[in-house]
């Protein structure tokens, strides 16, 4: 199947050829035609499978003959990085078209964004907070929006953006096309969309499983040996570029500094950075200035960097869905990739959950000299040891039992 079946105009077709797009991915095959027809759509697919093109291409086709200078499509993204990336894709797809696109998010000059909007724009890609601020000020008019796209919808709801999104929706026309895309969609999120989508087409493409082009290796390691193990892995010849995920912003910053001090070209991407610093870090990683990007889950969604050979979970993700998003930074566009995860004794429950998600595709490795006496143990055995430890502690507190009844009673009441 080729993109020719969608009868895109010559400008879009030429743009696709210039970018090397030959055949649509499964999510594109199933989503583009309903969107061209004006249907509402719920699209669920693995990260890295081409969701952005699945909604951007038909939107460009549909607005190509419409009135210029008014906002016809609004795309809402959960993070600045994803918004900027979506904007860049649309710019590439519409290079030969007379279509204007603007991007709006916090952390940069609002005045510059307002000046850009005043020039007239057809498509706006935005993060909820700054968009709502500008809408409340009257700096952006949303009354002519014909298409609303919620990209990575589950993350927006998880991060608490739902109230802002509801306020934004009240400023849109009641009659419009609604498109919701995500890599995961928990049941509680589906219920929130019932009032938004009208008779939607539902497209689901193996969204609950990671890409088959990724191998998964878990390293059993003691918590205090993870940095040593990480340095050892990164200095191996087969790790070309890697994203290393940590649980906190502070850890990401410090770990990147430690790696740099050990001769590894590393930088961090985390929420404490200014927007300019985030741009420098991500662009430096894309250009090869840095081989390693140490990041929080801010980089787990939608960040598309070609040719990442490895994803390394320095800290275990909080959910199976988070693991899918993280690992999806590698193995993109049908390339192979490797996901490494550091597994400690405290990660037992998450490991079992991931074993079910990955359906036995995990390879376990032990790191000599880097393991505690027991790194991952059986849960029942852990409970037995905990009970035994509690009993031993109680006996120490009680002291040795006396044969004298009154002393025994005294000790018991003392506890």
On whether both 248 and 114 belong to a single domain, the answer is: no
Question: Looking at the domain assignment, is residue 320 inside a domain?
Answer: yes
Residue 408 pLDDT exceeds 90: no
Least confident of 45-49, 132-136, 373-377: 373-377
> What percentage of the chain has pLDDT greater than the value 90?
49
What pLDDT is attached to residue 326?
Answer: 86
Q: Which domain range does residue 94 map to?
A: 3-205
Within this chain, do residues 66 and 189 fall inside the same structural domain, yes or no? yes
pLDDT for position 335: 66
Mean pLDDT of 84-113: 91
Residues 236 and 288 in one domain: yes
Residue 372 lies in a domain: no
User: How much is the pLDDT for 389?
Assistant: 55
Tokens encoding 376 = 């991952």
Q: What is the mean pLDDT of residues 178-199?
A: 81
277 class by beta-carbon count within 10 Å (0-12 exposed, 13-18 middle, 19+ buried): middle
Q: What is the CATH number of the domain that holds 314?
A: 3.40.50.300
Q: How far is Cα 333 from Cα 174, in angstroms, rounded to an integer?
A: 37
Instruction: Provide mean pLDDT across the span 311-319.
Output: 93
Lowest mean pLDDT among 6-10, 63-67, 273-277, 348-352: 63-67
The band of 384, judged by pLDDT with boundaries at 50, 70 and 90, is low
Q: Please tell me the predicted confidence (pLDDT) of residue 274.
A: 81
pLDDT given for residue 130 in this prediction: 95
- Residue 76 and residue 7 share a domain: yes
Say if residue 23 is in the same domain as residue 58.
yes
CA atoms of 61 and 11, how far apart (whole Å) = 9
**Better pLDDT: 409 or 83:** 83
218 and 337 housed in the same domain = yes
Residue 393, pLDDT above cutoff 60: no
For 258, 313, 343, the CA distances from 355, given in Å and listed in that order, are 31, 15, 12
Q: Are residues 172 and 221 in the same domain?
A: no
Lowest-pLDDT choice from 49-58, 173-182, 281-290, 391-400: 391-400
Lowest mean pLDDT among 16-30, 137-151, 221-235, 393-407: 393-407
Binned at pLDDT 50, 70 and 90, residue 42 comes out as very high
Convert the pLDDT of each residue in 209-231 to its tens digit: 566 678 999 999 999 999 999 99
Across the chain, what does the average pLDDT equal? 83
Q: Is residue 293 domain-shared with residue 407, that is, in the same domain?
A: no
- 316 and 409 within one domain: no
Whole-number pLDDT of residue 378: 45
Cβ–Cβ contacts within 10 Å for residue 18, how many?
12
Is the domain of 15 the same as that of 150?
Answer: yes
* Residue 246 scores a pLDDT above 90: yes
Distance, CA of 12 to CA of 18 (rounded, Å): 10
Q: What value does the mean pLDDT take over residues 350-378?
A: 74
Is the distance from CB of 214 to CB of 339 less than 8 angstroms? yes
Pair (149, 281) in one structural domain: no
371 occurs within a structural domain? no
């Amino acid at each position: 199947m080729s993109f020719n079946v969608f009868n895109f105009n010559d400008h879009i077709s030429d743009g696709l050829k210039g970018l090397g797009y030959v055949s649509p991915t499964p999510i594109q095959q199933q989503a583009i035609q309903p969107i061209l027809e004006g249907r509402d759509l719920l699209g669920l697919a693995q990260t890295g499978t081409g969701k952005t093109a699945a909604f951007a291409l038909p939107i460009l086709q549909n607005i190509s003959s419409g009135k210029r200078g008014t906002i016809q499509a609004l795309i809402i993204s959960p993070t600045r990085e994803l918004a900027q990336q979506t904007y860049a894709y649309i710019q590439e797809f519409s290079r030969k078209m007379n279509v204007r696109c603007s991007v709006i998010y916090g952390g940069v000059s609002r005045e510059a964004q307002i000046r850009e909007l005043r020039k007239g724009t057809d498509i706006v890609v935005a993060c909820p907070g700054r968009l709502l601020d500008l809408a409340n000020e009257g700096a952006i008019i949303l009354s002519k929006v014909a298409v609303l796209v919620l990209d990575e919808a589950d993350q927006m709801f998880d991060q608490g953006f739902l109230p802002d999104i509801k306020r934004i929706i009240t400023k849109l026309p009641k009659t419009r096309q609604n498109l919701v895309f995500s890599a995961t969609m928990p049941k509680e999120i589906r219920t929130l969309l019932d009032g938004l989508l009208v008779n939607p087409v539902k497209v689901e493409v193996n969204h609950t499983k990671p890409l088959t082009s990724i191998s998964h290796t878990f390293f059993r390691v003691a918590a205090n040996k993870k940095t040593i193990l990480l340095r050892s892995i990164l200095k191996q010849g087969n790790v070309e570029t890697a994203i290393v995920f940590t649980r906190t912003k502070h850890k990401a910053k410090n770990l990147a500094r430690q790696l740099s001090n050990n001769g590894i070209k590393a930088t961090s991407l985390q929420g404490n950075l200014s927007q300019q610093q985030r741009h420098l870090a991500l662009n430096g990683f894309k250009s090869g200035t840095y081989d390693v990007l140490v990041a929080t889950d801010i980089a787990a969604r939608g960040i598309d960097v070609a040719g990442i050979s490895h994803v390394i979970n320095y800290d275990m993700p909080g959910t199976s869905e988070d693991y899918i998003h993280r690992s999806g930074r590698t193995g993109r566009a049908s390339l192979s990739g490797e996901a490494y995860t550091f597994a400690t004794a405290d990660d037992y429950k998450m490991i079992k959950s991931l074993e079910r998600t990955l359906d036995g595709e995990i390879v376990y490795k032990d790191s000599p000299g880097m393991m505690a006496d027991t790194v991952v143990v059986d849960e029942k055995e852990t409970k037995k040891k905990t009970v035994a430890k509690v009993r031993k502690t109680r006996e120490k507190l009680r002291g040795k039992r006396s044969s004298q009844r009154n002393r025994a009673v005294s000790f018991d009441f003392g506890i």
